[in-house]
């Protein structure tokens, strides 16, 4: 993995400067904070409740088996809700003005089996800077049995990936709680990325180990030892919880970047991407279902990925209003604003893209989706 890649073109048209000024004016003129408000605190309470209350009820040992498994399913919804709606904003510094609060809620990822520091490197540093750049953006790196970039290695079995991908998506958080964070931390320590963001490699390894053991002890070992059900009941429940969270989380993130209307880029021989960073974000990122309030609430505004990639330090509760500014400014400057009007349309586009990637029919270029599904403003 290359340590640095540069976006070599200056923003001569001043698109991003203009956009940033307009967004700043929106907050100043309306006298509101860029961070979370009562809506964020209410959602935090809801997601933590979805996660912890069903598990606590299971531990009362009074439910029938079917109700135990249902509780684990609801906990899975809460688990992914914490990831998308709480820790995501907090680890971007967008949850609150108080940095201590951001740190505290950022560690909510450890509560669901992840690790805050490795997530920050993988997501904040690599994904947000080098979106859809194969070799830098870990989200589109070659996965076991999945090809998510036209620059990835093509295998024979990839021709069927659009059929078996949902099964692998279900396993996403399983790999997360088992080995992914340890592997990532070792790599980031070796490359110096841990120190680059101001963290101590030894401390992070100790913190990672302790929180993983605590997570497994509380949510896996304790139910096995203390509940009176057959051993398979808490085991199946644990798997249901993570399959639910893994599928939802992966689908939501895939719909933002691995769809037909987004582009993929590679740096030239000297490590430059001949583009403006903000234009790159617009070309590699797509929104979906912006007007669906239920989807927007549950996924923590991640259906407003364009706005999130341009302004990751703004809390997602503000994205619906920010999107109006981003879209109108994009139209004014002739910059692509990519979106799918519905969740279903984005899902269909993602699986068409998986098929094309698996059959080597997708190149590093923009593919325009059918007009009834996507609204694309050409560059």
Q: How far, in Å, are 75, 84, 325 from residue 59 at the CA level?
A: 13, 26, 48
What is the tens place of the pLDDT at every residue in 95-118?
Answer: 999 999 999 999 999 999 999 999
H or E element, residue 374 = strand 374-376
Lowest mean pLDDT among 82-91, 162-171, 187-196: 187-196
Distances (CA, A) of 255 to 57, 133, 147: 34, 16, 15
Q: Can you tell me which residue has the tokens 């006298």?
A: 31
Residue 186 confidence class, pLDDT cut points 50, 70, 90: very high
Which tens digits make up the pLDDT trace of 204-240? Answer: 999 999 999 999 999 999 999 999 999 999 999 999 9
282-292 pLDDT, tens digit each: 999 999 999 99
Pairing relation of β-strands 338-340 and 374-376?
A: antiparallel
Q: What is the rounded CA–CA span in Å between residue 57 and residue 46?
A: 16
pLDDT at residue 379 is higher than 60: no
* Angle, CA of 171, 367 and 88, to the nearest 5°: 40
Token pair in block for residue 35? 């961070």
pLDDT of residue 368: 35
Distances (CA, A) of 191 to 3, 116, 141, 194: 8, 18, 17, 8
Binned at pLDDT 50, 70 and 90, residue 203 comes out as very high
Residue 363's pLDDT band, with cuts at 50, 70 and 90, is low
* CA pair distance 288, 310, nearest whole angstrom: 16
pLDDT bracket for residue 135 (50, 70, 90): confident
The burial class, CB within 10 Å (0-12 / 13-18 / 19+), for 275 is middle
% of the chain beyond a pLDDT of 90: 79
For residue 247, what are its two tokens?
Answer: 């599928």
Scan for tokens 């209410």, then name that residue: 42
Integer Cα distance of 314 and 312 in angstroms:
5
- Supply 163's token pair: 């059929």
Tokens 């992840």 locate to: 114
């Amino acid at each position: 993995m290359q340590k640095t890649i540069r976006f070599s073109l200056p923003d001569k048209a001043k698109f991003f400067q203009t956009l940033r000024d307009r967004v700043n004016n929106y907050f100043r003129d309306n006298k509101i904070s860029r961070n979370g408000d009562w809506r964020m605190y209410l959602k935090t309470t809801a997601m933590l409740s979805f996660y912890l209350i069903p598990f606590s009820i299971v531990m009362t040992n009074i439910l029938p088996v079917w109700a135990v498994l249902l509780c684990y399913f609801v906990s899975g919804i809460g688990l992914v809700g914490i990831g998308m709606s709480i820790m995501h904003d907090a680890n971007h510094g967008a949850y609150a003005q108080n940095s201590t609060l951001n740190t505290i809620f950022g560690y909510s990822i450890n509560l669901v089996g992840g690790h805050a520091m490795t997530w920050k490197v993988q997501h904040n540093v690599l994904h947000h800077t080098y979106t859809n750049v194969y070799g830098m953006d870990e989200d589109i790196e070659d996965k076991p049995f999945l090809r998510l970039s036209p620059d990835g290695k093509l295998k024979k079995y990839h021709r069927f990936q659009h059929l078996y991908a949902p099964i692998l998506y279900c396993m996403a958080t399983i790999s997360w709680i088992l080995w992914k964070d340890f592997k990532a931390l070792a790599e980031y320590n070796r490359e110096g990325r841990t120190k680059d963001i101001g963290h101590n490699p030894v401390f992070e390894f100790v913190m990672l180990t302790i929180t993983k053991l605590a997570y497994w002890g509380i949510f896996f070992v304790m139910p096995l030892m203390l509940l009176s059900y057959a051993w398979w009941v808490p085991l199946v429940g644990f798997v249901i919880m993570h399959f639910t969270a893994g599928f939802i989380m992966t689908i939501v993130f895939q719909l933002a970047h691995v769809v037909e209307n987004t582009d993929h880029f590679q740096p030239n021989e000297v490590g430059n991407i001949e583009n403006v960073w903000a234009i790159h974000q617009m070309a590699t990122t797509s929104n979906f279902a912006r007007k669906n309030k239920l989807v927007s609430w549950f996924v923590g505004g991640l259906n407003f990925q364009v706005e999130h990639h341009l302004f990751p330090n703004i809390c997602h509760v503000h994205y619906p209003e920010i999107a109006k500014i981003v879209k109108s400014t994009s139209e004014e400057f002739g910059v692509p604003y990519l979106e799918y009007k519905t969740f279903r349309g984005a899902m269909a586009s993602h699986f068409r893209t998986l098929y094309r990637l698996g059959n080597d029919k997708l190149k590093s270029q923009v593919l325009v989706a059918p007009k009834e599904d996507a609204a694309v403003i050409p560059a």
